[in-house]
Amino acid sequence: MTQVIDRRSVLAALSLLAAGGPVTLAASAARARVGRTTMRHVTGGSINTLDPTMLGSTRESFGLSMSVYDRLMTFGRKPLADGMWTFDPETLRGELAERCEVSDDQCTITLHLRPDAVWHDGTPVTAEDIKWSLDRCVQGHSLAVPQFTSGSMTSPDQFRIVGEHMIQITLPKPDRLAVANLAMPYAIMINSRLARRYATHDDPWAQQWLQHNTAAGGAYRVDSFRPGINVSLTRNDAWKSTADGSRPFFEHVISQTVPEATARASLVERGDADIAIDLQAYDIIAMAMRKRVKISSIVQSNCFTHLAFDTQRAPFDNVLVRRAIAAALPYDDMFAACLFGRGQPLYGARWHDVAPDISFPQSLPLATDLPRARALMAEAGYPQGFETTFSYTTSQTTTAEPMAALVQEALGKIGIKVRIDKLPDATFNTMQAKRELPFYTDTGAGWIERTYYFFYLYFTRDQRWNFSNWRNMRMVSLIEKARFEIDEAAYEQDCRDMISLLIDQVPLVMLWQPKMDAVSSSDMEGFTYQYYRQVDFRTLSRA
C-alpha cells in the first residue's frame, strides 16, 4: 500500500524531532521524505530570547537572529581550504540596503533600500520601518545602545527618511565603525507596524513581546520556540541572498539544546543530528580517528583567550609583577594541555618593540624566561613572592582546569602561591563585572575585526569588557585619536603604538586563538565561521 504523506504529517515529524521524542511510522516516513532538506543543530548553550538586543541574551540567541532578521548591511565571506568559509571583515555589502553611499567628509551615510524587500507577513519594507528600527537601537534598555555608540550613533535625530526607499545617517565626526555597526547582531530591522501593536507606554519598543515573537523578514521564519529547549524554523522562500540571489538550501531547521557534550557528539556521529560546534577537544580527536563525520576546523580569527589581572589592586597594579608572570608562564605546555595544539598561538613572536603589521589579535613577543621572571619579582619588591587566587568558570573546565594547574606550578617557581577557584558561570560573571577577581582566565571576541575596536572594547573605560580594569591615559588618547582618524598612515601608526603599549604594560597576557570545530554529517557543505561564533544556517547545504 502506498502511504500518502501530507503537510500535516511533515510538520508532525518536525515537531517530534524538535521535542526529541519517538517518531511514529507516518512521522518517520515524513522525516525520510523531508530529511534531506531538514537540518538538526544541537548546542550546549540555549536560545533564551528571539530578540538579541535583550539584556542577558545568549550567544546562541545572537546566532539565531542572524537567520531570522535582516540588517541593513552584512559582511561578505571568503573561501578557505577544504570547502570551508570564513566571514570577510574587509567586505561590507547591503542586506536590506541595496547600496550604501558615504559622503566625502565621511559624516553622512545614505542607504538605498531594496524596493522588493518584504516582511514575513508579506507587507513591504518601508523607510518608516527602518527609521523606527534604528531609533530602537539607540534608545531604551537594550544591548544595541552601547554597540551603536561605538559607531557614533546615539540619537534618533541622526536617522532621517530622505526618500521612499532612502535613509540617511549623519555622524558628528567621521567614524570608521559606523557602517560596520549596521551589520551587527543587535542591528535587527523590524516590521514596525507589527511590533508597535504590542508596544505599551512602559514598553514603547515592544521588547517584552519580541522576546517570544518575531516581526522579521530574514531567511527563516520561527515556527515554534521553547526558551532554553529548542526552536524550529521554516525557510522564507521570499528571501534571497544579496550576494548571489540564492535561497538557503534547508527548508527546515531545528536547533535543540543538549547540555552534555558527549551526548551531542553521539547524536552527530549516529546521524541523529547534523551539526554541533561546541564539542570537547578529546571527543573531536576521537571522532576524527573514527572518520564517521566531517570536521571543519577554523581558527577563530577575531577571538583571544587570555589571563587577566586586576590592575587596580596590589600586587597586580605593579607592572613589574605583571611582566614577571608573563615571563614565568609555560606557554607551550599550556597550549598542548588545554587545546591539544588546536589553535593559533598568540605568544612566541620574534619581533620586540614594533609590530610588523597592525593586525590584532596577533602573536606577541611573549616567552618563558624564569631567570628574568625571578629578577623582575625582586625588582618589584616581592623577592619571596605573594599569595593570590586564580579563577575560571565551570563552562571552561575542559581547557581552564589544565591551564590552572600549569599556572599554579609555574608561578610557584617564582614564589607566587596560587589558590585555584572554579566558579559557577553566574558567580564568575557577577564577580567579573564587580571587579572581584584578582587573576583569572577568559576568552574575548571582537565582532568588528578592527585593531582600534579591540583596544576600545577591551582596554578602556569602566565597563565589563575591560577585563583587566586597566586605566592608562596614553592608551585612551591613542584610541580616541584613531577612532576618528581618516589619514590611513596616521591610523596605522596609532595602532602600532597601541600594540607596543600593550606589550610594555602587560595589562593581560594573550595566550591563543582557539579553533572552532564544526562537527557535522559527512554530506554537509558550506560551513562558514562567523564573527559571532555560531552556526550560520543560511550558508549550509548537503552534497
What confidence tens digit (pLDDT) does each residue in 185-196 have?
999 999 999 999
Residues of the chain with pLDDT under 50: 1-34
Could you tell me what percentage of the chain is helix, strand and coil, using 3-state DSSP and rounding each to the nearest 5? 35, 25, 40
Q: Find the helix packing angle between 488-505 and 473-483, rounded to 10°.
A: 160
**Alpha-carbon distances, residue 355 vs 46, 364, 493 (angstroms):** 40, 8, 10
pLDDT score, position 10: 37
User: What is this structure's pTM?
Assistant: 0.86
> Within 13 Å and on the Cβ side, how many CA atoms surround 85?
19
Question: DSSP code of 248?
Answer: P
pLDDT score, position 33: 39
Q: Give the C-alpha separation, 316 to 314, whole Å.
A: 5
**Alpha-carbon distances, residue 491 vs 52, 238, 455 (angstroms):** 32, 42, 13
Q: Find the helix packing angle between 281-290 and 261-270, rounded to 10°.
A: 20
pLDDT score, position 395: 81
pLDDT score, position 318: 98
> Within 13 Å and on the Cβ side, how many CA atoms surround 15?
11
Domains, the chain, in order of start with CATH, read 8-278+521-542 (3.40.190.10), 303-514 (3.10.105.10)
pLDDT score, position 9: 42
pLDDT score, position 2: 32
pLDDT score, position 24: 30
Residue 345 phi/psi, 5° resolution?
-60, 145
> Within 13 Å and on the Cβ side, how many CA atoms surround 511?
29
Q: Give the C-alpha separation, 525 to 162, whole Å.
A: 42
What is the C-alpha R_g of the chain?
25
Provide the CA 368 distance to its chain's centre, in angstroms: 31
Q: Give the C-alpha separation, 111 to 100, whole Å.
A: 5
Q: Count of CB atoms within 10 A of residue 129's CB?
A: 25
- Burial label, 411 (beta-carbon count in 10 A; 0-12, 13-18, 19+): buried
